[in-house]
Amino acid sequence: MNRPKVYIARKIPYEVEEYIGKFCDYEKWGKNTEIPQDELFNRISDKDGVMLYGIKIDEALLDHAPKLKIVSNISAGYNNFNLEVMKRRNIMGTNTPGILNDTVADLVFGLILCSARKIVQADSYVKNCNWTHEYNLNLLGKDVHHSTLGIIGMGNIGTAVAKRAKLGFDMNVIYYNRNRKPEVEKNLGIQYCEFESLIKTSDFIVLLTPLTKDTYHLIDFKEFAMMKKSAILINASRGQIVNEEALVDALQNQKILGAGLDVYETEPIGTDNPLIKIPNVITLPHIGSGTSSTLYNMVKTAALNLVKGSYGEIPPNLVPELIK
Ligand code: DGY
């Protein structure tokens, strides 16, 4: 069999490129910027596989890649896949599950602590030389310990967040998920809660559900109206789970106390997005999985998937919806 041809549409460590090169002929984008669409369409026209991050896989892209067997995502989320189209065209799609759970859970806690204890504002206060002997009441925060944490989406990341909350911060943890998780409830002493009741009673609401047709704008004007005025919303999953217009309204009109965000409806965030001017929101640039070792392991896993799939074999992390 000829060596398969693959395209690496994102800059990755050279060592991983070398691994791919042992099995496949590869071309790469290699720059830190996002690959322009025409360049990508051009490059994948004779390829068996492509490895990428966040680029939409739809009819238009697949029309330019008649030989394509596999799309290997360098991410756990795969909301960039049009699963119906991929299924119909017999294209395999993979993700990198299980690697980032603790890394994202750590960042969620960073967002909880920064939002509740005004850590970012306090840092600017000191660096701007505003610290005097007068006690600054504006920097008074909200307790995290012993408060109620509501987690929406109790997968592996949700479980890792619940563990930190329960064991480290003595929080009362409630969760909402499509399926109940009796084992997690028993092991960690957390409680299942109906969606509306969680929205109404949580001090912190953490969104960790995947983006699907059912979770698009799950948190909208109606949900913000039900939240405690002292609630803090944390989103580290996908931006479109929250209607950003409703979030801006809730933050500007004190319907909630604050928010900690790693994700947005449009990424990178637009310079005209009101969120960047609102003081009671922490805005991070989608860095949930962003530690060197986690990213390296994700790229390595994506490379294994790419190589396997480009030979027409079933890769280890074929997403469940595409398993035949
Ligand atoms: C993931 O892997 O899904 C992270 O959110 C990075 O995109």
Structure confidence by residue, pLDDT tens digits, 103-157:
999 999 999 999 999 999 999 999 999 999 988 999 999 999 999 999 999 999 9
What are the C-alpha distances in Å from 122 to residues 31, 194, 225, 275?
36, 36, 29, 19
| Cα gap 93→55, rounded to integer Å | 12
pLDDT confidence of residue 135: 87
- For ligand 1, whether the C-beta of 100 sits within 6 Å is yes
To test the pocket of ligand 1, the residue of 34, 52, 75 to mutate (highest count of ligand atoms within 8 Å of its CB) is 75
Query: What angle is formed at CA 76 by the lines to CA 312 and CA 51, rounded to 5 degrees?
Result: 45
CA of 207 to the centre of ligand 1 (A): 14
- State the Cα–Cα distance between residues 169 and 93, nearest whole angstrom: 38
**Catalytic residue flag (residue 180):** no
Cα–Cα distance, 101 to 156 (Å, whole number): 6
pLDDT in tens, 32-54: 999 999 999 999 999 999 999 99
Place of tokens 């060596």: 3
Q: Which residues pair with 81 in a beta bridge?
A: 57
Q: Which residue from 263, 289, 295, 301 has its CB within 8 A of the most atoms of ligand 1, so it is best to mutate?
A: 289
User: Is there a common fold for 5-98+292-322 and 100-283?
Assistant: yes
Encoding tokens for residue 76?
């756990």
Helix axes 101-117, 156-163, angle to 10 degrees: 50
Among the options 10, 43, 164, 238, which is catalytic? 238
Task: Give yes or no for residue 289 CB within 6 A of ligand 1.
Answer: yes
What is the residue whose two structure tokens read 């962003």?
Answer: 290
The predicted structure's pLDDT at residue 28: 98
Q: Ligand 1 centre from 224 Cα, in Å?
A: 25
Which residue has the CA at smallest separation from atom 7 of ligand 1?
75
Torsion angle in degrees (nearest 10) through CA of 105, 107, 113, 115: -120
- In this structure, what is the dihedral angle of CA atoms 21, 23, 24, 29, given to the nearest 10 degrees? -30
Confidence check: pLDDT of 1 > 90: no
Instruction: Name residue 192's beta-bridge partners.
Output: 175
H-run or E-run covering 25:
strand 25-28
**Ligand 1 neighbourhood includes 155 CB (under 6 angstroms):** no
| C-beta of 75 in contact with ligand 1 (< 6 A) | yes
CATH number for 5-98+292-322: choose from 3.40.50.300, 3.40.1360.10, 1.20.120.10, 3.40.50.720: 3.40.50.720
Are 173 and 151 in contact by the 8 Å Cβ rule? The answer is: yes
Tell how far the Cα of 255 is from the centroid of ligand 1, in angstroms. Answer: 29
Report the nearest-CA residue for atom 6 of ligand 1: 75
pLDDT band at 2 (very low <50, low <70, confident <90, very high): confident
Is 267 a catalytic site residue? Answer: yes
CATH class of 100-283: alpha beta
Domains of the chain by residue range:
5-98+292-322, 100-283
Selecting among 84, 245, 267, 321, the annotated active-site residue is 267
State if residue 97 touches ligand 1 by the CB under 6 angstroms criterion.
no
Residue of the nearest CA to atom 2 in ligand 1? Answer: 75
Q: Which residues pair with 294 in a beta bridge?
A: none
Q: What is the pLDDT of residues 159-200, one digit of tens each?
A: 999 999 999 999 999 999 999 999 999 999 999 999 999 999
Terminal alpha carbon distance of the chain: 25
What is the chain's Cα-based Rg?
22
CB 310 within 8 A of CB 7: no
Annotated catalytic residue 64: no
